[in-house]
Structure 1
């Protein structure tokens, strides 16, 4: 970090020779009707200089240095225009845009995306940003450098099972949609990017909304939301080959092809990807495959697109982490851990001899997680006239898979099996290999209608109805001693069925030119039924019906064409996940969570810089948290805590120092507290749970500070090197704020290089290099803890997920 700070200071102290700077101004209007087009995007190609047209269609680009530029203007529903200009003085350039010959793909996500007028805190990630950071790691790692985001990887490399937190909230509280269609699993509520390998290669843009955000489809957003739009078609035929190779035998191969627009109406695009990695931790290997196919009809006033994409993953399990004594190299502590947990034979030898940071407790050859997931989307958009439009979608997702594990000394009775009789005596236990399956079907429809009454008033009505049908079952596919079960039989069967309906209405109104008011009202109803048996063979008969009302109000005031201030108040409600229901004590149901979210901020954008600063308050009622409480059958359960909160300030900015140097930076500072918290610890001496009460403790996995800085150096147009630095402060692994159960803060530095060139027959060739953790920092980005009392002493078991030291990924991308 010292190196980075010195470099940044040196750049600021570089002699700057003043050069003349000019202003480009003008207006953007519709060609045939001569009406102004407010909100059009105006930019100078290959620079950070850009702006938007105001309510009268006027725009202004200041501080433009003398030189030759390409001035670009775009607006949804109209043909993009480019003008090559020579700047040697102030200029006025007007644009008259023609309606597009076809409806643009952006309309598909407009209903659920935030704008400067919606009073929402958000970050847009463009296709070029995604491409620059896409070296084959999962999507969370590609957006890791955005405000308030913390990512982790079970295998330590960003390939395989990865996780993301926004403002301290985990993936189950981050709503994800793809083209407006919910992605989160309906029961666990998580988004599993390992099931969608290299999906980033088929993404056009991502909007990250922090906090509640705007109304969308699927489970409520309690920390943030990811609104993803898949790739729009190229205008001309193309082919692309991308390969990445790097540390830990990480290899990514991607092929993309597209027809461009055929007869200005049809387009077809496809992608095929394969990723493999040995992982940083022992046996943390992944083999991931995916494809993406899309075909579309582009009419002048309507768009029909069909997407089919699928992913498969085979990942060796590394989700147990490393015991603290092993991580610290504490030999006595390791032996104590072995004795406490009855570890013997090869497992004990593995614990004693493996690398302290790469240790993986699993040794069975096929201890893999296997999953296949197929997505089908039919998207339709219709522009009836210049005021009224519609878009809707039908979707279906089919998932199926299992994780396989070796289990020693298992009781036949625990699997509902008869004890076999050998030599006249019953045998009670056996070693076995089991598979736990999840097969699910998710399908439904989404829609939205938009009516633009005038340039000051806009209405949107939308919603969705989705159904989820999940089958949970287990099989024993090998047993050292056989009993009365065939390999294909199920030793448990359970079902999870959820029906989810929502409808929302949004209105945006500008009573005066600079002020915009925003209202967003959503009603959501769901039915959730869990039946059958769980994996402990306990009967399940759970039924819940919930109704949620989620209102949002906001205002945005434009101080001038370059800057605005905004504020909003939102309420969101969210149901518990499957485990909350299944592990709850008999006859009880988890209370839904409620969030009151206040956001306020200031945004400014000029030719040389852009910046935004915001404050927020997230006040929870009945938030579900881990307390150590056990259910009647000994399962860990989350409990509702009456009052908890997250209060913070965030900054996100970019500054062009010169034609060669650019600085990007963001910061998230927060205070995350539970007002009153009770911890439950099982006491083996009394065979009861002991209760310990705490006040005003930190919420687990919620760092007080997340900081990011990037210095980009472009010695010439086609080459760039970026020095990136990210700091995450300490995080507690439970809600007691105990210093003995925490993740230490870490500061990690990366370097990214990219060089573009072309030659005959090749549109562009890019060579990229990503060097992660250049200072070889030893750090852990995730973990968990549990404890008990025995012999009058508390025993705490901490586990950590170490991340890789210095490692690199080298990529070659060729576009034809």
Structure 2
């Protein structure tokens, strides 16, 4: 018996020894390649098994393998996986995981025409938001909301879905250049941006880069305040995708699905995204609904050529919010909508609420073909050919007496085609040269028609400024798909106004960059011609006969230069200067839609923009970095145009000439990582934005004839309204468990002023601050732990701060205190910001 026990003990010991000898102990350290710091929570898995572990807060790990030799796979959601071989006990040292959402890892087709600041060694004032942050913090907001924690940027949410706007250094969106994969997307007629048409861009964005001021763009574009580059998905290196469900306040819901095949052995890749959203809207009677679609096909026949076709769009329909007095908001609450009436005896209301005040309906598909050609190791050519077709309407219910009769559509449609191409050559070790072209062909058509008959079968008129007409056909209803596929091409079924615009643009640009040792410098130049022709179909001399205006040609150009000096690896200084001669927008050249083809006399001249910037960059490694920028921008010789609305024979329009604005300020941005699992960032921007000198105003009647003599408008020394001139913020995140983090941000706005008619002193608005927070958790799932389920919660304006977001008016405070709100007369038109809002989502990444 004793011998048997001894033999069993010996056998067990021998087996244990054999097992031990077959195992290996693998140790190592995993770092984030971008910040060169530890990556806590990275997954270490023995390939072909379920045996694994995760890194600690210092990025260290120890794994006992089941086999003596083999491979381990190191993964982390949002980073590219790496595989490391082992044979026996092994210390693999430090392995770096590169984020697949960093600009270095993003596959960009048409990269030569996407002007990212990283492409040039001479710095600019820039902030970059990467896909991981966009994915977390975008929620159900538009792009401007994501950018609000960057210096000199303010986002105003406004009323309904997609109706917000953004200011950079005090300049509105018409003076900020927005680019989508190198394609200009500001309105060709007026430079405006409507975020409701781009609601899907956040779902497909790989990165968004804000270049304040002069920026790095080589195009002859209208960037006074700055440039926003939106880089979307094109080709994904590997197969994968996600499915996401989001819900939010006021019955908001959004479902999104994305899949990419990755690049196969023959060089082909396919990706697509589909999404649907709907909600009641924060403001009363501002419900909305829309879809998002995105399709991309890539082909890489060899290492020298990459081609990609992309199609994306965001058809949507949402009810708008009317303006109201501050007193009305105080009486009815900040969700008040002045277009929300209970009866049907108003021209702004449809019984049942389908057209409460007005409904924005639009569909603007965008397609482009990109081609990158690596000619040799020193030169390359990038080309993007694009096109878009916008079809949409602002629909309003019309009444007769106490009865709603029909829905009137104010249509703003366009066809837009363009080409951007850029050739880049490394002339020598120190000189880089590129040259390119930018061509745009735009046809806009604007008219009024019947969107839907409600209680009548036809609409007719025999007098008034609109002329005589009888309308018997309706077009499109309230669906953006119907609006797009059921266009009104019949001039006899249009009324009020009916005209087209042909705007053609052609420009060339170039840049020479020098870089040697610690010194870098660049010089840029661009010249362009923009032509305008307007064709009138309704307000013409002979009924039924169209009239075409003379062609107007405007030549513009810009010059930019800068230099940077790297004092050492930690400190760098730079200075940039630029001058733009910018062509006026089409809408400031011609009389408005009542005046036909009449050119405003005198025609608007080119605007003159002069900018100076200087900066200092501090790079203290992964623990701390800082950017300090100072700027001075003069926007001169500006023509502003406005009208007083539809008042029949008393319709008046105003042309203000020689407006000059001077904006200068300082910006400080600091990014820190005090602990491996803690990020803490902050910024402050101090601005002074004022009108300089007085301007001249002309008044025109309904026929486009000047009324009275020129008059001087006193604006010298007035503050520029619309955005806060002093902003600050602190934001940070704390990962208290692997892949489990909380983040938050505080933003403060001060020295904001009202907008209103030129010639009246703006009002000083009360300052305010808001706090936002979020919670994230990623759970690794799947056989190899390479998939994940991600949970996210966003809460905006956590403390439900009540604040005036904007004021349009110049009525001074009343001596009767009850007629004021925080020093602002309640009779002024204004809008309060949103209260506490939230959204939460669950996302499966595979």
> TM-score when scaled to structure 1?
0.77
Q: 2:674 aligns with which of 657, 663, 669?
A: 657
Q: Deviations over 1:55-90 (max 9, x none)?
A: xxxxxxxxx978569999xxxxxx998989999999
Q: Is the 8 A contact 1:654 1:664 kept in 2?
A: yes
Determine whether 1:567 maps to 2:597: no
The match for 2:382 is: 391
Q: Is the 8 A contact 1:122 1:207 kept in 2?
A: yes
Give secondary structure in 1 for the equivalent of 2:135.
helix
The match for 2:663 is: 646
The match for 2:843 is: 813
Q: Deviations over 1:247-270 (max 9, x none)?
A: 111111110011112116111110
Q: Which whole-Å CA distance do the structure 2 matches of 1:92 and 1:133 have between them?
A: 29
Quote the offset at 1:452 in angstroms: 1.1
Determine whether 1:152 maps to 2:121: no
The match for 2:131 is: 127
The match for 2:559 is: 551
Give secondary structure in 2 for the equivalent of 1:326.
helix
Q: Deviations over 1:36-65 (max 9, x none)?
A: xxxx97844648xxxxxxxxxxxxxxxx97
Mapping of residues 216-365 of structure 1, within 5 Å: 216-217=218-219, 219-263=221-265, 265-298=267-300, 299-318=302-321, 320-329=322-331, 346=343, 364-365=355-356
The match for 1:697 is: 718
Q: Which whole-Å CA distance do the structure 2 matches of 1:218 and 1:272 have between them?
A: 34
Q: Is the 8 A contact 2:157 2:834 kept in 1?
A: no
Q: 1:597 aligns with which of 597, 604, 611?
A: 611
Q: Deviations over 1:579-634 (max 9, x none)?
A: 32334774332222121011110112222012101000001211345788999964
The match for 2:832 is: 802
Quote the offset at 1:204 in angstroms: 1.2
Q: Which whole-Å CA distance do the structure 2 matches of 1:559 and 1:106 have between them?
A: 34
Q: Is the 8 A contact 2:37 2:622 kept in 1?
A: no
Determine whether 1:748 maps to 2:722: no
Determine whether 1:402 maps to 2:423: no
Q: Which whole-Å CA distance do the structure 2 matches of 1:407 and 1:629 have between them?
A: 21
The match for 1:675 is: 692
Q: Is the 8 A contact 1:315 1:369 kept in 2?
A: yes
Q: Which whole-Å CA distance do the structure 2 matches of 1:787 and 1:715 have between them?
A: 51
Evaluate the alpha carbon distance shift between residue 507 and residue 83 of structure 1 in structure 2; reply closer, same or farther with a 3 A threshold: farther
Determine whether 1:614 maps to 2:588: no
Q: Which whole-Å CA distance do the structure 2 matches of 1:665 and 1:695 have between them?
A: 34
Q: Which whole-Å CA distance do the structure 2 matches of 1:407 and 1:581 have between them?
A: 32
Quote the offset at 1:112 in angstroms: 2.0
Q: Which whole-Å CA distance do the structure 1 matches of 2:169 and 2:387 have between them?
A: 31
Q: Which whole-Å CA distance do the structure 2 matches of 1:114 and 1:613 have between them?
A: 16
Evaluate the alpha carbon distance shift between residue 568 and residue 535 of structure 1 in structure 2; reply closer, same or farther with a 3 A threshold: farther
Q: Deviations over 1:335-364 (max 9, x none)?
A: xxx9xx9x999489999xx9xxxxx9x984
Give secondary structure in 1 for the equivalent of 2:801.
coil
Q: Is the 8 A contact 2:715 2:760 kept in 1?
A: no
Q: Deviations over 1:641-660 (max 9, x none)?
A: 35321001011221111123
Q: Deviations over 1:429-478 (max 9, x none)?
A: 99753211122110021100110123321111112111001111111454
Give secondary structure in 2 for the equivalent of 1:570.
strand
Q: Which whole-Å CA distance do the structure 2 matches of 1:84 and 1:800 have between them?
A: 65
Evaluate the alpha carbon distance shift between residue 24 and residue 472 of structure 1 in structure 2; reply closer, same or farther with a 3 A threshold: closer
Q: Deviations over 1:547-604 (max 9, x none)?
A: 1120100001111123311111011233333432334774332222121011110112
Give secondary structure in 1 for the equivalent of 2:693.
strand
Q: Which whole-Å CA distance do the structure 2 matches of 1:105 and 1:348 have between them?
A: 55
Q: Which whole-Å CA distance do the structure 1 matches of 2:327 and 2:708 have between them?
A: 27
Evaluate the alpha carbon distance shift between residue 364 and residue 742 of structure 1 in structure 2; reply closer, same or farther with a 3 A threshold: farther
Q: Which whole-Å CA distance do the structure 2 matches of 1:769 and 1:233 have between them?
A: 29
Mapping of residues 784-795 of structure 1, within 5 Å: 784-785=808-809
Determine whether 1:495 maps to 2:495: no
Q: Which whole-Å CA distance do the structure 2 matches of 1:166 and 1:322 have between them?
A: 26
Q: Is the 8 A contact 1:203 1:229 kept in 2?
A: yes
Mapping of residues 358-757 of structure 1, within 5 Å: 364-365=355-356, 367-408=358-399, 433-476=407-450, 478=453, 482-483=460-461, 484-488=469-473, 489-491=493-495, 492-510=497-515, 512-532=516-536, 541=549, 543-583=551-591, 586-605=600-619, 606-625=621-640, 634-637=651-654, 639-677=656-694, 693-734=714-755, 741=763, 743-757=765-779
Quote the offset at 1:109 in angstroms: 4.8
Give secondary structure in 2 for the equivalent of 1:676.
coil
Evaluate the alpha carbon distance shift between residue 814 and residue 324 of structure 1 in structure 2; reply closer, same or farther with a 3 A threshold: same
Evaluate the alpha carbon distance shift between residue 589 and residue 658 of structure 1 in structure 2; reply closer, same or farther with a 3 A threshold: same
Q: Which whole-Å CA distance do the structure 2 matches of 1:464 and 1:171 have between them?
A: 21
Q: Is the 8 A contact 2:109 2:308 kept in 1?
A: no
Q: Which whole-Å CA distance do the structure 2 matches of 1:344 and 1:240 have between them?
A: 42
Evaluate the alpha carbon distance shift between residue 345 and residue 390 of structure 1 in structure 2; reply closer, same or farther with a 3 A threshold: closer
Q: Deviations over 1:667-725 (max 9, x none)?
A: 2210001112459899xxx9999966243111121422121211321112301111211
Give secondary structure in 1 for the equivalent of 2:170.
coil
Q: Is the 8 A contact 2:320 2:357 kept in 1?
A: no
> TM-score when scaled to structure 2?
0.75
Q: Is the 8 A contact 1:601 1:615 kept in 2?
A: yes
The match for 2:801 is: 777
Quote the offset at 1:288 in angstroms: 1.6
Q: Is the 8 A contact 1:517 1:554 kept in 2?
A: yes
Q: Which whole-Å CA distance do the structure 2 matches of 1:400 and 1:568 have between them?
A: 41
The match for 2:3 is: none
RMSD (Å) for aligned C-alpha atoms: 4.4
Give secondary structure in 2 for the equivalent of 1:775.
coil
The match for 1:210 is: 212
Question: Which runs of 5 or more residues in structure 1 are unaligned?
Answer: 1-22, 26-39, 48-63, 73-78, 96-101, 355-359, 411-428, 789-794
The match for 1:5 is: none
Q: Which whole-Å CA distance do the structure 2 matches of 1:648 and 1:466 have between them?
A: 34
**Greater share of residues in strand:** 1
Evaluate the alpha carbon distance shift between residue 629 and residue 289 of structure 1 in structure 2; reply closer, same or farther with a 3 A threshold: closer
Q: Is the 8 A contact 2:588 2:641 kept in 1?
A: no
The match for 1:185 is: 187
Q: Is the 8 A contact 2:520 2:563 kept in 1?
A: yes
Q: Which whole-Å CA distance do the structure 2 matches of 1:197 and 1:207 have between them?
A: 17
Q: Is the 8 A contact 1:65 1:87 kept in 2?
A: no
Q: Which whole-Å CA distance do the structure 1 matches of 2:347 and 2:692 have between them?
A: 43
Quote the offset at 1:136 in angstroms: 2.4
Give secondary structure in 1 for the equivalent of 2:513.
strand
Question: Which runs of 5 or more residues in structure 2 are unaligned?
Answer: 1-28, 41-56, 63-71, 75-79, 99-104, 462-468, 474-492, 593-598, 700-706, 813-824
The match for 1:57 is: none
The match for 1:763 is: 787
Q: Deviations over 1:385-408 (max 9, x none)?
A: 110101101111111111111345
Evaluate the alpha carbon distance shift between residue 82 and residue 441 of structure 1 in structure 2; reply closer, same or farther with a 3 A threshold: farther
Give secondary structure in 1 for the equivalent of 2:381.
strand
Evaluate the alpha carbon distance shift between residue 715 and residue 756 of structure 1 in structure 2; reply closer, same or farther with a 3 A threshold: same
Quote the offset at 1:212 in angstroms: 2.5
Bigger Rg, structure 1 or 2: 2
